[in-house]
Amino acid sequence: MSSLSEAELPFLSYPVNPRAEYLQHPDYARPRLEIGRDRKAQLLRMLEILYGPGLAASTYPELERILQVHHAYKSPALVAQEAGFDPRERLTERDVIAITYGEIVSKSHRPPLEILHDILLLFLRGVINTVHILPFFPYSSDRGFSVIDYKQVDPRLGTWREIRSMHRNFRLMFDGVVNHISAESEWFREFLNGNPDYADFFRSFETRDRLSSEHLKLIMRPRVSDVLTKYDTLNGTRWVWTTFSPDQIDLNYRNPQVLLRMLDVLLFYVRKGADLIRLDAATYLWEELGTTCAHLEQTHAIIRLFRAAFDEVAPHTVLITETNVPQEDNFSYFGDGTNEAHMVYNFSLPPVVLHTFLAGDCTRLNRWAANLETPGDQTTILHMLDTHDGIGLLGGRGVLSDREIDNLVQTTIAHGGLVGYRTDRQGRQSPYELNIPWYQALNGFDPVDPIPLQVARYLASRSIALVLQGVPGIYLPAIVGSLDRVTDHSQLDEPRSINRTLVTEERLFERLTNPESAYHEVMVRFRDMLSARISHRAFHPNAPQRVIESPPTVFALERIHPDTHAPVWCFTNVTAAALCFSLETSYTLWRDLLSARFFRAQNGVLRLSLEPYEVLWLEPARD
């Protein structure tokens, strides 16, 4: 792929991101922001939950100063834009999020972020409007999620210039890695050096015995590694809290300075182009011995404080909590629908959809989807099937049976994948995630089915995330490298790397532009599905949905246009067999949004035939 500059390809240079820009420097000539009484009271309430009345009162002035500084960066155009902002339209049917690392190709002489921008413009322009660039900061492990410096771009990926360039064409989503920081960060080095300013930035103990076996049994763990890691400091040995790995040091929000520093980081991201911010591992922000150390009241108070601060000075920005837990706990981060996350990840969907297609039965999916709802019109759900980590299993608990989850584990192993484990409350290792590319999870590593059937199965599964009420998230490597399989595990530095493989720039371009390539077919057909989705108001995040009674081999969902109240009926055959079924309808003629075919009802009955893994999105048409 040759270098594609905006000057060389002006037809690719079109404005997509409508948000006005921030100023490069704060304008202190304008009157400073005055925080209203109600907002101040709201922020103080959250501080009091965390620190008590005295420390809350002494912390508030610095919090207010951070908000005032951020406000001073706003351009007049941005201030005017925010004045007419409707929070119900923060996200619409046009929002589709591509999830990707900054580097998705190997062996290139150009900055990876520049190449990523080109790939998005070449292959997904007009159907993807938002890009979630997974942590693009300097890091020491976990492919970016052990951040060394929150405010720098990893020079191996590019600079803030490439981020700004991408922001002109796409809304951007940044990771706020708010739970932990790298052991190689300046913050942690200063802790080791005995700097008193950083003494309480991390939760630490002088002896390991401070965390008893009874405490350990209660703590909810996402990993099998020790929760305490030994470090030698200027002041002696310290056992430091490390939820995820010895290199990922948990931040101590008991210290208000940590809270203020992280709020400053998040607002810095907004000024640098973040339209959405993902709060990574939000589940574990507060530790309290004698509890699960997950979903605590203080954790929710931190999220509410972030939300209140953003409502005051960055109302366009979407806060997303990443909480890979069962659905009830996950959805608790919506709060009352107005005071915590705007959006949460749907971690139940991946295991449920995978089970549906492996079993050829929608019973579980139908039952779950029939009860899917959020607490208000300012909240929604991010639907994805796979991520950089793989396919989480905790979200499937309570929806799938233990036997069905075990079947997913065994099928993943049989299909050439790996399984990640965590330590449960009984001290046992239990499956936590499936590390396998989505195409391989569905079709196996040596499938006997012909490629057209494999592709149809893959695209049918993708359609589920596109039709549900919410916003779809697409893991980009699974689209541009859709048919890739990984069976040689010897070269993986960790199980999750199976979903993080790279391909050369030339190879990627060849795959996606060759009309004879199955990769090309997947891209073209998937683009068509996205184009149909973003063009219809019935797929607005707030548009109602209803599961339609149908055979268990068909996922059938009704979406309702919020203005005309006309339905769109979405059907997906989840099996390799052709099938026929009928539905009663008051409409005579229906048109498929995907193929433009027409279907006529007779005497109030619509009879449909679906080919293996066929997808239909039908809307009423004029006769």
* DSSP track, 332-380: GGGTTTTSS-SEEE-TTHHHHHHHHHHHT--HHHHHHHHT---SSTT-E
* 3-state secondary structure at position 230: strand
In whole angstroms, give the CA distance from residue 532 to residue 568.
12
Q: Are 105 and 504 in contact (CB under 8 A)?
A: yes
| 330 contacts: CB under 8 Å, gap ≥ 6 | 323, 324, 344, 345, 347, 348, 395
In whole angstroms, give the CA distance from residue 3 to residue 465.
33
Type of residue found at 405: I
In whole angstroms, give the CA distance from residue 145 to residue 163.
18
In whole angstroms, give the CA distance from residue 320 to residue 281.
11
Task: Tell which phi-psi region holds residue 123, choosing left (phi > 0), alpha (psi between -120 and 50) or beta.
Answer: alpha
Q: Are 156 and 195 in contact (CB under 8 A)?
A: no
In whole angstroms, give the CA distance from residue 227 to residue 289.
12
**Which of these, 578, 481, 580, lies nearest to 526 by C-alpha position?**
481
**Which DSSP letter does residue 17 get?**
-
In whole angstroms, give the CA distance from residue 545 to residue 63.
41
Q: Are 387 and 379 in contact (CB under 8 A)?
A: no
The strand ranges marked E within 409-534 are 418-423, 429-435, 471-475, 503-504
Type of residue found at 86: D
Number of CB atoms found within 10 A of residue 205's CB: 15
HSE at residue 505, side-chain half, CA atoms within 13 A, is 19
The dihedral sign for the CA sequence 111, 116, 117, 121: positive
From residue 559, alpha-carbon distances to 223, 368, 377, 467, 512 in Å are 39, 16, 16, 8, 32
Q: Are 219 and 253 in contact (CB under 8 A)?
A: no
* DSSP track, 241-283: E-SSBTTEEEB-TTSHHHHHHHHHHHHHHHHTTEEEEEETTGG
571 φ, ψ (degrees, to nearest 5): -125, 135
Q: Are 408 and 351 in contact (CB under 8 A)?
A: yes
Question: Tokens 């959250």 map to which residue?
Answer: 46
Kind of pairing between the strands at 343-345 and 318-321 = parallel
Q: Annotated active-site positions, please? A: 280
Number of CB atoms found within 10 A of residue 363's CB: 12
